[in-house]
Structures are given as C-alpha cells and as structure tokens.
Amino acid sequence: MPSEPKDAYTIDDLRDWENATGDLDPPARLAVFGDPVIHSRSPQMHNPALAEGGKNCQYVRLHIGTEDLREALNLLKEKNFIGTNVTIPHKGEVFAAVDDMTEVARLTHSVNTVLVDDGQLIGHNTDAPGLEQAIREEFSVDLTDLRVMVLGAGGGAGRAACIQAAMDRSERLVLVNRTFEKANALKKEIEPMYAKSERLLGPVDRLAVIPHEVKYLERELKHIDLIINATSLGMKVSDPVLIPAHLLQPHHLIFDMVYAPPQTRLMRDAVKAGARAANGLNMLLWQGAHSYEFWFNEEAPVEAMRKGLKESFNNAK
Ligand code: NAP
C-alpha cells in the first residue's frame, strides 16, 4: 500500500530520494523549499490541482537550509523533478542560482518558482502576477486603473508589488518604506518604466517615494485608491499600527498580503472607515495557479486549488 508523504523531507532525503519517497504513489516530483517550511499550505493547494489535472505526480515540502540550497537545486535535475516553489528565505538566492529566468523574475530580483527544462533551471516570480490577479478578483478593477501605495516597498514582496504596478503602468505609484533608501533605490529603477508611459501627469507626482511616517502618509493618502500592505507587520496584535485609522477613507481599497489572521488590524480599521479590504489568501492562490501554469504550460484548475486551500484552513481550526 502506498504510504503518506512526510510533513517535510530533508536534504538527506533528497539525496536518497528513491529510498525516501519510493513508496509514494503518485511519485513526488514537485516541492516547496523553505526554512521553515512546515507551515506551507502549498501541498494542500497543489495536490488537488495535480489530481484534477490528471498529473501523475505529487507535491511535498522540503526543509532546506541556506547552506544546502545550491545542492538541492542541482538534485532537482538528477531526481527527475518537474520543478519547485521556493519560499522564505530563499527567493533571492535562487534568483542568483538559476540558468535562465522570465522577465518578471529579472525585474523583481526574486524567484519563487523553478521549472526543470531539459537540464536547465528556469526561474519565475509568480507573486507579482498573483497579486495582480488577486486584486482584480477582490475589487473587480485592474491595477492599471488604480492609484497605488505600497507599504514595505523595500522588502521582497513589496518590490514584486511595485514592479507589477509599474509593468501595468498603474495610474499612480507611491513607494513607502521604513528604510527610505531602499525604496528610493527601487523608485530609480522603476522610473524608466514610467517614462515610457503616455498618460498625462496629474497634480501630484505619478511616481513617488516617502518614508513610512504619518506626516507623509497623510499627504499622499488623499491621492491613493489602493493601499497594499507588503510589510512583515499584521500577523500579531502587538504589531505597530501601519496607518493611523483616521487617515483611512471610504474610497480606499486595502489589500493586506497577510492572510493569518484573516482580518488584520489594518483591514479592521479600513472597514470601520467604510473602505473595502481583502487579505492575502487570493494572492497565495493565484501565485500557485501561475506556478502550475509555468510547470505544465496549461491553465491551472484554480477551483480545485481554492477548495484545497480553504479546507487546509478549516482543518487547522
Ligand atoms: P521582507 O523582505 O522581510 O520585507 C519586510 C518589509 O517590512 C520591509 O519593507 C521592511 O522595511 C518592512 N518592515 C518590517 N518591520 C517594519 C516596521 N516595524 N515598520 C514598518 N515597516 C516594517 O518580507 P517579504 O518576504 O517581502 O514579506 C512581507 C509580507 O508579505 C509577509 O507578511 C509575507 O508573509 C507576505 N507575503 C504574502 C504573500 C501571499 O501570497 N499572500 C506572498 C509573499 C509575501 P525595511 O526595509 O525598513 O526593513
């Protein structure tokens, strides 16, 4: 009888993959690399999609430390993997390790999806298009038509959000970061993308950068539709307030990349102000769907993924 996969495999398991997973049916040929990785819901999201799509493989977790990352990537080829996802803390390191990459990976400097193609590792970033699609689904409006503010523009997810907004030529883009210099450097990179834009400039700068301080937020928020939280804050009740509640207005749309808890303080404050708010669950879903499409070059069974993800949260309660 085929056995159940482990909660997470190790680099030793990967070195001896045939012995570690030989009794799995279907075979494990997709994974998520992370450290930690046990919290990842990607297997619960991808396995129903693989079954629905008729793929003879399954998706497992691999606990890979930074010191073993390069070896683990090389082993993907030897062990007949289709590809992998990578999560904290490896997205930057994998960016530097792949043989080739997509344009969005090149611009975001980050790889969260790898395809093994004819002995080559091809990197892609699906956080950026996943965010774009999640916003469309949550608010029935495209990034391109919104004046966007990204909190945490100096971090990995914030950079992906800014790059996607710039690729879409969002109506306006305001980069916000605690460490101003990081966001300012990103703004300089993005400037040429906006220079190509044919839209007319309004009364405020189309592309701007500010420190994460109340006086600057207050000035800019009047000219913003969508606020994206891409900081690492929001998961704990003790986290500092990202935006004082009185600055939130009914016309604002809030997209918080955090999904646990399902309603963050920022989202709660926004709803109280009459604004609309969504958490990051749909971004997780759509980045997964884009990964599936990158691996198999066909449309992902998104509803199976959505159901799997939902069940994983229900089972955790
Ligand atoms: P990261 O690279 O570590 O970036 C963290 C960001 O948060 C930085 O911009 C940092 O500013 C800012 N920050 C940290 N503490 C702060 C504070 N006290 N006040 C203001 N800003 C602060 O993290 P990441 O990988 O981008 O992830 C960010 C968040 O996005 C995490 O919650 C992650 O789980 C979430 N995420 C969700 C999805 C999804 O699918 N829903 C996908 C990717 C990421 P400095 O530059 O000043 O340090």
- Residue 132 and residue 96 share a domain: no
Tell me the CA–centroid distance for residue 264 and ligand 1, in Å.
14
241, 212 Cβ separation under 8 angstroms: no
For the chain, 317 residues long, give each residue's pLDDT as a single digit of tens. Answer: 557 999 999 999 999 999 999 999 999 999 999 999 999 999 999 999 999 999 999 999 999 999 999 999 999 999 999 999 999 898 889 999 999 999 999 999 999 999 999 999 999 999 999 999 999 999 999 999 999 999 999 999 999 999 999 999 999 999 999 999 999 999 999 999 987 656 656 678 899 999 999 999 999 999 999 999 999 999 999 999 999 999 999 999 999 999 999 999 999 999 999 999 999 999 999 999 999 999 999 999 999 999 999 999 888 76
188 and 81 together in one domain: no
In a domain, 251, yes or no: yes
CB of 178 sitting under 6 A from ligand 1: yes
Q: Which atom of ligand 1 is nearest to the CA of 152?
A: 9
**Ligand 1 in reach of 291 Cβ (< 6 A):** no
**Rounded Cα–Cα distance for residues 95 and 109 (Å):** 6
The pTM of the full predicted model, rounded to 2 decimals, is 0.94
Q: Which of 125, 151, 172 is the last residue of a domain?
A: 125
191 with 93, same domain: the answer is no
Q: How far is the CA of 237 from the centre of ligand 1 (A)?
A: 16
CA of 246 to the centre of ligand 1 (A): 23
- Same domain (yes/no): 38, 173: no
The catalytically annotated residue of 6, 55, 79, 91 is 91
Number of domains in the chain: 2
Pairwise CA distance, residues 13 & 229, whole Å: 37
Atom 31 of ligand 1, residue of closest alpha carbon: 232
Same structural domain, 149 and 209:
yes
Q: Using a 6 Å cutoff on CB, does residue 110 contact ligand 1?
A: no
The C-alpha atoms of residue 211 and residue 244 are separated, in whole angstroms, by: 15
Residues 117 and 138 occupy one common structural domain: no
Annotated catalytic, 215?
A: no
Residues 117 and 208 in one domain: no
Final residue before a domain boundary, out of 70, 94, 125: 125
As a whole number of angstroms, the distance between CA 301 and CA 303 comes to 6
Is the residue at 185 inside a domain? Answer: yes
Considering the domain architecture, whether residues 86 and 217 belong to the same structural domain is answered as no
| Integer angstrom CA distances of residue 295 from 45, 46, 57, 307 | 15, 12, 12, 21
Domain boundaries, position 57:
9-125
5 lines ligand 1 (CB under 6 A): no
CATH of the domain at 55: 3.40.50.10860
Q: With DSSP H G I counted as helix, E B as strand and the rest as coil, what are the percentages for the chain, rounded to 5?
A: 45, 20, 40
Same domain? For 142 and 269 the reply is yes
CA dist 253 and 20 (Å) reads 47
Please provide the DSSP assignment of 49-117 as one string: HHHHTT-S-EEEEEE--GGGHHHHHHHHHHTT--EEEE-TT-HHHHHHH-SEE-HHHHHHT--SEEEEE
Is ligand 1 within 6 A of the CB of residue 34?
no
Q: What is the CA radius of gyration of the chain?
A: 20
Hey, what amino acid is at 218?
E
Pairing state of beta strands 253-256 and 276-278?
Answer: parallel
